């Protein structure tokens, strides 16, 4: 088992920079998720770690070993492909045992190890079949078994669940999580599905345009997106962003936008001071919706409901705030109709602030920087 | 509706008869005793099935030797064309590189030239280099004719083997060549064999270049065409039937690959 | 080996083909003009072409080459399209019919010539059939210089029989690439079978028709086995003249001139097909 270090890794395809100067340290036994939209470089980064892409710059370390120049087979990785890449001309047993056969492991040991992994993944009844005779979920498990049987230091998975239907994906997600605890191998997992990322990752590296935008534990990424991109990519529906001007009135800071004006508490003063404009970020569930004018209207914003959608566990409101559209989620039993006027207030603890130009989060450290 | 169905089948069967009838007729002609072949009116079905013409053909001077040469030339053509062309087909299927489109178009363009345009200057060149009238020289010519086909067909059949599979083999410890040999090659083998058989038939059937590039070491088609004016009818009929037998067998073997040879497989 | 490792893999894989095609394609191609346009002592000359054009066989060779093409190609295209449509119906046994229709693919033009010789020869099957039907008393002679129309008909039949499957296979692969949705969309408008063929299938098949025509025309220009078997020099074409000049007259220079003429004809035909059957980029199917 080993940690993985990327140092200034760059990979270009012609004039396109697929991976741009990426530094990352993945700890031993950690479950790391690369998350991002298609074309963000997450798969190329994974393939660079596997050795399937030759990187143009930088170094890659697995444990103490510099593997930058090593071919894939000598790196000590196991990989699960998006398409599973099961060899169609071999039985399941031969597929799983392939890596051991190449490494010239004696037949008896090989059979023993194949059986053990097959049991772990409930494949022991299928060993004599061919991949073409298996269902999608079974093939997925064979792909995992084939990667695991060689006891890799690092397990790499490239969107392994994306070819499964929704229900099966949910089930396999839980199985993968259980498996990770059972084998305790460092795992790197590529996905574009934010729910998968949040549910599986010890940490998530959110990527965009070949760079890691934010790398942190799931809760931090969800609660404190590093920039507007992360906030809108993670969470369904995404975070709301509202632009506002910062004003000083009677010695107090005010945020004024289209159709609203609020007075933030003084603890935000270090963030707001010296700026003329700001972007507020609020998750849909962090609003409070009132149907009657509250007694204290200082921080209540009046808006009208446009669309009401029942999503089962929540009721999603599309709210028009003088031209800007907000997504707000409320209890599914809330009685609300399109056209109604409501008053919105929010949980100040969950409020995020972003620079109006760079769209990056304003944190005390960033203020000083 | 019923009538349309009957009409449809009638047309389908009619076309099948049109295709098969001439082959049946040459077979009958080849198996008719010499006497009946020249009698008037000739019966469609001979009174006895006779191997007389066949024996006459096979025992004629030069036939067996040229048949042997035809087989050797065809086998050599398949080997040369596959050894030289298949790597290029693989490269076209697997790599992105500059000039790839130009290469592909160049390969396609080589199909545009008439055989005579190549065979005549090659004959002159061969005379100078002492490979004129040799089996190898003719095999090179046939391989050149088959090359565009082999490159494009191998490229399309390797494209059908996902590159993922080779990559998976590499992550499991194979070298690049090992991954190809253990994964792509076994999967592509049946279609490669089909392509090889097709190339064999191409060489076996080729007439013009064979006739121009050989004098004493003629292949079977070259032998038949150069003796046309002095051969009796039964020799011609037996020869015609003899030539199409291997072609018929080979086409039967590769029948599943007929369409994929030209770009698309039959969707079943 | 260390040196080999430095060369990029694609280059390594492509180079055998490139070397081979240079040796056995490019050099002969350059050489052929050298032969046709030079005299024995390598001086530029048009004498070879003059000799070709003055030859008594040239005019009829040119005429026959073009006439045969004009007679063969359209018939072949229609038959092949019909056969492709039949097989594409996917009825029970359609693959069986496909195999049957494809049989002549494996047969050389020489063998095809011999096959049809057994039909058209004086005591051949055609005469026998007509006799059995009571149409004829004495056999007709089809293949002689006195009956050039019959010779042409025999050659056209031979070529149509032998090479229609090639066109069919190309058209069939094209047909199978046409998404069913287009046809079903036409069905929803109540199109008749003919309307579907006319307004949906044929336009979408144009690229396949084009490549089939180009390929077939090129091969039809080269056809010479049936000519030699069924007509000999009584019906000269460019390909057979090129052969005679090389083998009988032993003059590779005039033979090369004929080969170049053949090439020129092929190029003209290809150009015509490319212009007439142009498919505009934006009309290519999106499915």
pLDDT of res. C245: 92
Question: Is the residue at B55 inside a domain?
Answer: no
Cβ-defined contact of B173 to A88 (cutoff 8 Å):
no
A23: left (phi over 0), alpha (psi -120 to 50) or beta: beta
Q: Find which of C84, C86, C113, C115 to mutate to test the B interface (most B CBs within 10 Å of its CB).
A: C115
Domains of chain C, start order: 38-283 (1.10.3720.10)
User: By CA distance, what is C161's nearest residue in B?
Assistant: B19
Last residue of a domain, one of A233, A257, A278: A233
Q: Does C186 have pLDDT greater than 50? A: yes
* A179 and A328 fall within a common domain: no
pLDDT of res. C115: 94
pLDDT of res. C5: 60
Secondary element (H or E) of residue A44: helix A42-50
Supply the range of the domain harboring residue A299.
Answer: 240-368
Cβ-defined contact of A87 to B162 (cutoff 8 Å):
no
* A175 and A197 fall within a common domain: yes
Question: Is the residue at B2 inside a domain?
Answer: yes
* B37 and B111 fall within a common domain: no
* B183 and B91 fall within a common domain: yes
Cβ-defined contact of C111 to B143 (cutoff 8 Å):
no
pLDDT of res. B262: 54
pLDDT of res. C1: 46
The pLDDT tens digits of the residues spanning A29-86 come to 999 999 999 999 999 999 999 999 999 999 999 999 999 999 999 999 999 999 999 9
* A305 and A340 fall within a common domain: yes
Regions of chain B short of the pLDDT cut 70: 1, 260-268
Last residue of a domain, one of A206, A233, A260: A233
Q: Does A175 have pLDDT greater than 60? A: yes
* B92 and B41 fall within a common domain: no
* B29 and B68 fall within a common domain: no
Q: What is the ipTM of this complex?
A: 0.88
pLDDT of res. C283: 66
Chains C and A touch (3+ CB pairs under 8 A): no
| d(C-alpha A238, C-alpha A240), whole Å | 6
pLDDT of res. B260: 67
User: By CA distance, what is A104's nearest residue in B?
Assistant: B173
* A200 and A63 fall within a common domain: yes
* A139 and A246 fall within a common domain: no
Supply the range of the domain harboring residue B25.
Answer: 1-50
Average pLDDT, chain C: 88
The DSSP result for C76-137, as a single string, is HHHHHHHHHHHHHT--TTHHHHHHHHHGGGGS-HHHHHHHHHHHHSTTSHHHHHHHHTTS-S
User: Which of C21, C107, C255 is opposite residue B120, by nearest beta carbon?
Assistant: C255
Question: Is the residue at B248 inside a domain?
Answer: yes
Residue A220 tokens read as 């931090």
State how many domains chain B has: 2
Burial letters C56-67, b for 16+ CB under 10 A, else e: ebbebbbebbee
Residues C72 and C159 sit within 8 Å (Cβ to Cβ): yes
From chain A, pick out residues whose CB is under 8 angstroms from the CB of B178. Answer: 102
Query: At what angle are helices C58-88 and B2-31 packed, to 10 degrees?
Result: 130
* B139 and B90 fall within a common domain: yes
Cβ-defined contact of B178 to A102 (cutoff 8 Å):
yes
| Secondary structure (3-state) at A59 | strand
Cβ-defined contact of B173 to A78 (cutoff 8 Å):
no
Question: Is the residue at B266 inside a domain?
Answer: no
Cβ-defined contact of A52 to B170 (cutoff 8 Å):
yes
pLDDT of res. A367: 39
* A221 and A263 fall within a common domain: no
pLDDT of res. B264: 36
The pLDDT tens digits of the residues spanning B92-122 come to 999 888 888 888 888 878 877 888 888 999 9
* B158 and B210 fall within a common domain: yes
Q: Which of residues 145-204 of B touch C (CB under 8 A)?
A: 147, 151, 176, 201, 204
Q: Does A334 have pLDDT greater than 80? A: yes
pLDDT of res. A368: 36
Cβ-defined contact of A147 to B178 (cutoff 8 Å):
no
* A54 and A90 fall within a common domain: yes
The pLDDT tens digits of the residues spanning A8-18 come to 999 999 889 99
Q: How far does B195 lie from chain A, in Å, by closest CA?
A: 20
| Secondary structure (3-state) at A83 | coil
* A86 and A218 fall within a common domain: yes
| d(C-alpha C191, C-alpha C186), whole Å | 6
pLDDT of res. C276: 87
pLDDT of res. A365: 44
The pLDDT tens digits of the residues spanning C125-173 come to 888 888 888 887 888 888 888 888 999 999 999 999 999 998 998 899 8
Kindly list the distances between the CA atom of residue B51 and the CA atoms of B29, C8, C104, C113, C148, in Å, as whole numbers in the listed order: 11, 59, 24, 22, 34
Q: What confidence category does residue C284 fall into, taking pLDDT thresholds of 50, 70 and 90?
A: low
* A215 and A245 fall within a common domain: no
Q: Find which of B94, B97, B164, B168 to mutate to test the A interface (most A CBs within 10 Å of its CB).
A: B168
The CATH code of the domain that includes B132 is: 1.10.3720.10
From chain A, pick out residues whose CB is under 8 angstroms from the CB of B175. Answer: 71, 73
pLDDT of res. B186: 93
Q: How far does C29 lie from chain B, in Å, by closest CA?
A: 6
Cβ-defined contact of C35 to B124 (cutoff 8 Å):
yes
* A124 and A225 fall within a common domain: yes
Cα(first)–Cα(last) distance of chain C, in Å?
Answer: 47
State how many domains chain A has: 2
User: By CA distance, what is C94's nearest residue in B?
Assistant: B12
pLDDT of res. C2: 54
Q: Which of residues 107-166 of A touch B (CB under 8 A)?
A: 146-147, 150, 156
pLDDT of res. A260: 84
pLDDT of res. B267: 29
* B86 and B217 fall within a common domain: yes
């Amino acid at each position: 088992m080993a940690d993985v270090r990327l140092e200034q890794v760059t990979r270009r395809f012609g004039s396109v920079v697929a991976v741009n100067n990426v530094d990352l340290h993945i700890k031993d036994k950690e479950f790391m998720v690369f998350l991002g939209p298609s074309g963000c470089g997450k798969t190329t980064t994974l393939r660079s770690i596997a050795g399937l892409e030759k990187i143009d710059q930088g170094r890659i370390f697995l444990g103490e070993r510099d593997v930058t120049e090593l071919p894939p087979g000598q790196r000590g990785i196991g990989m699960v492909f998006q398409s599973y890449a099961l060899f169609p001309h071999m039985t399941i047993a031969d597929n799983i045992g392939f890596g051991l056969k190449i490494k010239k492991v004696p037949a008896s040991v090989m059979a023993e190890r194949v059986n053990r992994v097959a049991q772990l993944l409930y494949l022991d009844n299928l060993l004599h079949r061919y991949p073409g005779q298996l269902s999608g979920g079974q093939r997925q498990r064979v792909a995992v078994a084939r990667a695991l049987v060689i006891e890799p230091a690092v397990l790499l998975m490239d969107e392994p669940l994306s070819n499964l239907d929704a229900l099966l994906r949910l089930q396999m997600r839980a199985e993968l999580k259980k498996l990770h605890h059972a084998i305790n191998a460092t795992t790197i997992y590529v996905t574009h599905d934010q729910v998968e990322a949040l549910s599986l990752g010890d940490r998530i590296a959110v990527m965009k345009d070949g760079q890691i935008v934010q790398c942190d534990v799931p809760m931090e990424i969800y609660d404190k997106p590093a920039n507007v991109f992360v906030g809108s990519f993670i969470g369904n529906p995404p975070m709301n962003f509202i632009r506002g001007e910062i004003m000083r009135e009677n010695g107090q800071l005010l945020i004024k936008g289209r159709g609203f004006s609020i007075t933030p508490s003084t603890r935000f003063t270090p963030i707001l001071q010296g700026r003329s404009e700001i972007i507020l970020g609020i998750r849909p569930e962090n609003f409070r919706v009132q149907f009657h004018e509250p007694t204290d209207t200082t921080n209540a914003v009046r808006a009208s409901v446009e669309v009401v959608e029942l999503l089962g566990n929540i009721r999603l409101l599309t709210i028009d705030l003088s031209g800007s559209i907000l997504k707000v989620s409320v209890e599914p039993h809330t009685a609300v109709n399109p056209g109604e006027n409501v008053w919105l207030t929010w949980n100040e603890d969950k409020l995020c602030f972003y620079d109006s130009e760079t769209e990056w989060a304003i944190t005390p450290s960033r203020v000083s920087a | 509706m019923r009538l349309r169905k009957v009409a449809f089948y009638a047309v389908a069967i009619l076309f099948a008869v049109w295709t098969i009838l001439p082959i049946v007729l040459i077979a009958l002609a080849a198996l008719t005793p010499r006497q009946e072949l020249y009698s008037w009116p000739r019966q469609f079905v001979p009174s006895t099935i006779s191997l007389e013409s066949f024996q006459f053909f096979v025992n004629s001077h030069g036939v067996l030797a040229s048949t042997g040469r035809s087989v050797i030339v065809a086998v050599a053509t398949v080997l040369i064309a596959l050894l030289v062309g298949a790597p290029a087909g693989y490269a076209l299927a697997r790599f992105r590189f500059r000039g790839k489109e130009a290469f592909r178009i160049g390969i396609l363009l080589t199909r545009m030239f008439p055989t005579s345009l190549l065979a005549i200057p090659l004959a002159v060149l061969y005379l100078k280099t002492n490979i004129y009238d040799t089996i190898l020289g003719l095999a090179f010519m046939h391989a050149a004719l088959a090359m565009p086909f082999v490159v494009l067909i191998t490229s399309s059949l390797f494209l059908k083997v996902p590159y993922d599979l080779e990559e998976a083999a590499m992550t499991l410890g194979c070298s690049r060549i090992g991954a190809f040999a253990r994964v792509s090659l076994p999967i592509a083998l049946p279609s490669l064999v089909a392509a090889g058989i097709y190339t064999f038939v191409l060489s076996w059937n080729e007439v013009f270049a064979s006739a121009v590039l050989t004098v004493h070491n003629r292949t079977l088609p070259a032998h038949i065409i150069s003796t046309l004016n002095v051969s009796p009818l039964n020799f011609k009929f037996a020869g015609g039937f003899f030539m199409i037998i291997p072609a018929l067998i080979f086409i039967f073997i590769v029948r599943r690959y007929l369409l994929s040879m030209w770009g698309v497989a039959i969707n079943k | 080996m260390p040196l080999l490792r430095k060369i990029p893999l694609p280059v390594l894989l492509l180079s055998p083909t490139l070397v081979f095609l240079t040796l056995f394609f490019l050099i002969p191609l350059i050489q052929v003009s050298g032969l046709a346009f030079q005299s024995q002592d390598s001086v530029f000359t048009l004498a070879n072409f003059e000799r070709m054009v003055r030859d008594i066989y040239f005019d009829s060779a040119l005429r026959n080459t073009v006439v045969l093409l004009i007679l063969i190609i359209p018939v072949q295209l229609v038959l092949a399209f019909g056969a492709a449509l039949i097989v594409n119906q996917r009825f029970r046994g359609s693959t069986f019919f496909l195999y049957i229709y494809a049989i002549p693919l494996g047969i050389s033009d020489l063998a095809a010539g011999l096959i049809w010789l057994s039909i058209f020869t004086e005591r051949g099957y055609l005469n026998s059939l007509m006799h059995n039907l009571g149409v004829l008393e004495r056999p007709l002679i089809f293949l002689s210089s006195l009956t050039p129309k019959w010779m042409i008909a025999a050659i056209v039949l031979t070529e149509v029989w032998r090479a229609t499957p090639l066109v069919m296979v190309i058209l069939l692969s094209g047909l199978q690439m046409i998404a069913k949705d287009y046809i079903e969309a036409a069905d929803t408008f109540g199109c008749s079978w003919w309307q579907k063929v006319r307004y949906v299938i044929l336009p979408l098949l144009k690229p396949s028709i084009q490549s089939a025509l180009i390929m077939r025309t090129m091969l039809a220009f080269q056809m010479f086995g049936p000519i030699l078997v069924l007509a000999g020099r009584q019906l000269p074409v460019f390909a057979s003249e090129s052969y005679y000049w090389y083998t009988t007259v032993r003059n590779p220079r005039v033979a090369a001139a004929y080969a170049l003429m053949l090439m020129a004809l092929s190029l003209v035909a290809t150009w015509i097909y490319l212009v007439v059957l142009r498919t505009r980029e934006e009309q290519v199917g999106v499915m």
